[in-house]
A and B are shown apart, each in its own frame.
Chain A
Amino acid sequence: AQSVTQPDIHITVSEGASLELRCNYSYGATPYLFWYVQSPGQGLQLLLKYFSGDTLVQGIKGFEAEFKRSQSSFNLRKPSVHWSDAAEYFCAVEGTGRRALTFGSGTRLQVQP
């Protein structure tokens, strides 16, 4: 069965600093990978996804992620964080068969002024 690990539960960065959120997955084949962001009490918004092709994926709000098969990773990056980026970030992988998403445990991002 597939699994997703987000090793960082909580990250604090200063506004304007760069950001990298880690995501590792366990999956037997080439995965479909996603990053979502969730504000408190809200649903999930898709930041970006990787299905195939170019391993560097550009998303919304200035985010990007790089798929590294050799490391089973799909880390999310942003060169300059804004205060509005403070939220919960989830990495997810699409499983075979039931076609549902398996989520990591999430990383809470705090942005300091």
Chain B
Amino acid sequence: GAVVSQHPSRVICKSGTSVKIECRSLDFQATTMFWYRQFPKKSLMLMATSNEGSKATYEQGVEKDKFLINHASLTLSTLTVTSAHPEDSSFYICSARVQALNYGYTFGSGTRLTVV
């Protein structure tokens, strides 16, 4: 149980285009989701907290106009990288906190974004 499905797993896009990454909770409702970015051989850095039906909360230094987050339903959160540049290439991972039974956090399988 408590599965988060993240798509796509890999995407290559041209500079200047936008890319959308989806994160779905399959068997539970996620009122809050988290988006992380991971650089090669580095830890996960929290980018933003996504709340269903309200605006996302961004961490300091994260451009909200570049990384658009939408959490329109209890099972879907999306991250759109707008006007992508090569420096946006990274591994993006979503996560949700599962309230039931003190489960903890569950993670999507990640999206490898390469901007060329």
Contact = CB atoms under 8 A, between A and B. Distances in A.
B32 interface: yes
A65 B93 CA distance: 25
Interface stretch (A22-30, A44-52, A67-75, A79-87): A44-52
B24 to A, nearest CB: 14
A104 B43 CA distance: 7
Contacts of B32: 99
Contacts of A94: 105
B29 interface: no
A43 B107 contact: yes
A66 to B, nearest CB: 18
Tell me what chain A mostly uses at the interface: helix, strand, loop, or mixed: strand
Nearest to B102: A51
Nearest to B44: A103
Tell me what chain B mostly uses at the interface: helix, strand, loop, or mixed: strand
A101 B42 CA distance: 15
B112 A100 contact: no
A98 B97 CA distance: 11
B6 A43 contact: yes
B112 A90 contact: no
Interface in B58-116: 91, 93, 95, 97, 102, 104-110, 112
B42 A100 contact: no
Contact of B110 (A32, A43, A90): A43
Nearest to A91: B43
B49 interface: yes
Interface string A85-113: 00000100010001111111110100000
Interface in A46-63: 46, 49, 51
Interface of B: 6, 32, 34, 41-44, 46, 49, 57, 91, 93, 95, 97, 102, 104-110, 112
